[in-house]
Amino acid sequence: MYSRKKRVRPVLLLILTVVFLLSAGAAAARTAEAASSQGYTTDWYRVHVQVMKNYEFRFTEKIRVNFSERRHGIYRDIPTGANYRIRDIRVDGDAYSVKRQDGSMVVRIGSADRYVTGKKTYTIHYTLAHITRKGAANDIYTDLLPTGWSTDISSAGITMDLPADLTLKKVRVYTGSYGSGDSLTGGWKYEKNRHRVSVHLENVPAKCGVTIRAEVPEGYWKGAPSIDWTNYLSTAILAGAVLLLLLLRLRLGRRPQYAETVEFYAPEDMNPLEVGYLVDGNVDRKDITSMFFYLASKGYIRIRETGAKNFEFEKTADISEEESGAAKRFYRGIFGTKGQKKENGFTVSMKAAGDRLGKAYEAVKDMTEDSFTGERSVYSKQSETAGIIGMILFVAAVFLLILLALLRDGAFQAGLMQGLGICVLGTVLLTALMLGFRKVSEYRYSRKRSSTMIRYALWSACYVALGAIYIYLIGGIRTGQPDLAVIAGLCIFLILSPLLLFSMQIRSDWSARTQAKLKGFRNFIRDAELAKLNELVEEDQDYFYNILPYAYVLGLTDRWAKRFEQIPLEKPDWYIPYGTKAYGDVYYANMFSSRIRNFSAAAVHDVQLSSDSGGWSSLGGGFSGGGGFSGGGSGGGGGGAW
């Protein structure tokens, strides 16, 4: 039995030896294959880091490569970061270039006109100038060997020399691919008497780096740059912007107040286009569409259905000179300059009229706006000036806050134009959202309450979401170093700014007085009593149709039609339906309301306004306390051949 065991052991040993040799051979073959695919191997990689008392780490990297294929040289990319700046990059004895690319400083060594083969040693120097932050640990946390080097390294040697009066605590060295939290248990040592940390590793795999993390006595660094001033300045900008906006609003005083009066007709014989503009200070599609019904109710045109979704307009009278300039321009837009001079009975399709009205929109809009000047201004001159100044303050504050956040986080290391582009984009996004929010507020009187509330909810959600992103970035939360004063200031600024800016829209005395009458008119359309409507219809058989354009522009068409469910109406001679027989009197108001909706839908398709094309319908890791990982410190990056 014993002799049998003795015979088995040599056989097992032989088998294990063969398996080991085959595995080693396969590994060597894979390594050789990888090196062949890269066209070079890395014989050794030496790093020396001199730590200075001003928190600068001065790196010298010597890299020995062996080119098996022709290459121009090597490149080394060093990531930029929020807590350090890269300075004094230079290369010994070789042509090189440095450029910013994708958040890194890329050092390209060699010439595009020349190739190298065989063994070559490159020496690179650079400095990581670290920034101290109030309340942060300001420890040593830096990458000693890059995690992005593209080939295996046969031998890696690293030394970090410390100032004579610096004693490190809780020194940890991590190794592995980027993100690895594996601590290196051997191959490194911290020699306190020599003030040196050294690391020596053999056969380092590709994409495998070394990172050191160690605690430094509080307040040790002297003369290191600080970026805390950006947070102080951000807080001052926020406080100043809110204070100035508040002063602007207080300076305007109270809004002129007038009691609502019950009105049965539009105030001051205003047409629906003017009513729509007075309500919200804008000329929109609804205002434009209402003018078709207005001109028809006044006897200037006849609207005829020629199909399920097709309409044409017939000229029935020349437009009166007493009508507003905008109304006359709209009339000319329907028939054209020559068409408006033709005899009554001349017809045009909605498509042809829509093309002309699309071109005339800006003129109609400008003429409407120009009619509300002087005493008839919608908003007081003081409020318009304050609104402009307030908006400039808001835009400037947002731009400066983003600029300071990018400076603090080192984003401009990736390029000046890129940083400025981010500032502009961030400012435009928040400003556009603010203006959209303002539009919703302006249109609240000309839209249904439910529609307005939905829009308020949607815009509020978007504003809150974007505001949260700004707080996350500008408040320093992203880098793990939040500033509570900046965060609190941002919250106050983002909440108060829209409230103060919107409240600066103060109407002129005439506008407030007329608006009170208009609200009374709107409330009557919405809540009119049957007895009063019967009385008004007895006085004017066309009262329903004459008020209809105003109900439409105020978003109350269905409510207005519903009020007439029990009132017999005659069909208007200015609207000719298609393929239908006479309507019953009792239901005609609601049926006519549905016709209005069909017409409006067709107008949206055929009348293309110029306003329809748009309008409103990694920067580096932090240095805070906690665990570390390979590639998580300052510097690092990667490199390879080119």
Question: Strand order of the sheet with strand 153-161?
Answer: 84-92, 116-130, 56-71, 40-51, 153-161, 196-204, 188-191
Exposed/middle/buried for residue 487 (C-beta within 10 Å: 0-12, 13-18, 19+): middle
Which of 544, 511, 509 is CA-nearest to residue 525? 544
Using DSSP's 3-state secondary structure scheme, residue 631 falls into: coil
pLDDT at 416 (0 to 100): 66
**Rounded distance between C-alpha atoms, residue 128 and residue 60, angstroms:** 11
Separation between Cα atoms, residue 434 and residue 72, nearest integer Å: 53
CA–CA separation, 170 and 256 (whole Å): 69
Q: Is 180 strand, coil or helix? A: coil
* Domain residue spans of the chain: 41-225, 228-249+381-503, 267-379+507-613
Cα dihedral 476, 478, 484, 486 sign:
positive
* R_g over Cα of the chain: 38
pTM score of the predicted model: 0.66
Please give the Cα distance from 608 to 615 (Å, whole number).
Answer: 14
Size (the chain), residues: 642
| pLDDT at 477 (0 to 100) | 79
**Amino acid occupying residue 117:** T
State the 10-residue block means of pLDDT for the chain, 642 residues long. 45 48 44 58 96 95 94 91 88 92 88 92 95 82 91 95 93 88 87 94 92 91 86 93 94 86 92 91 87 94 88 94 94 91 92 88 92 89 91 93 84 68 85 78 64 80 87 80 87 91 89 93 92 92 92 90 84 82 53 80 73 37 47 69 86
pLDDT of residue 548: 93
pLDDT at 492: 94
d(CA 503, CA 620): 41
How buried is 443 (Cβ within 10 angstroms: 0-12 exposed, 13-18 middle, 19+ buried)?
buried
Buried b (16+ CB within 10 A) or exposed e, 3-26: eeeeeeeeeeeeeeeeeeeeeeee
From residue 71, how far is each of 30, 113, 153 by CA, in Å? 22, 11, 18
Relative to beta strand 347-349, strand 311-315 is antiparallel
Beta-carbon contacts of residue 61 (< 8 Å; ≥ 6 apart): 45, 46, 47, 76, 123, 124, 125
Dihedral sign, Cα of residue 198, residue 202, residue 206, residue 208? negative
Which of 381, 481, 383, 574 lies closest to 83, judged by CA?
Answer: 481
Rounded Cα distance between 353 and 160, Å, is 80
Burial class (CB in 10 A: 0-12, 13-18, 19+), 449: exposed
What confidence score (pLDDT) does residue 172 get?
92
Q: Phi/psi class of residue 102: alpha, beta or left (left: φ > 0; alpha: ψ in -120 to 50)?
A: left
DSSP lists the bridge partners of residue 173 as 212
Is 562 exposed, middle or buried (CB count within 10 Å of its CB: 0-12, 13-18, 19+)? middle
Q: Is 18 helix (H, G, I), strand (E, B) or coil?
A: helix
- Concatenate the DSSP letters of all residues of 76-93 into one string: EEEE-BTTEEEEEEEEES
* Lookup: tokens for 592: 């006519």
d(CA 549, CA 544): 10
CATH topology of domain 41-225: Immunoglobulin-like (2.60.40)
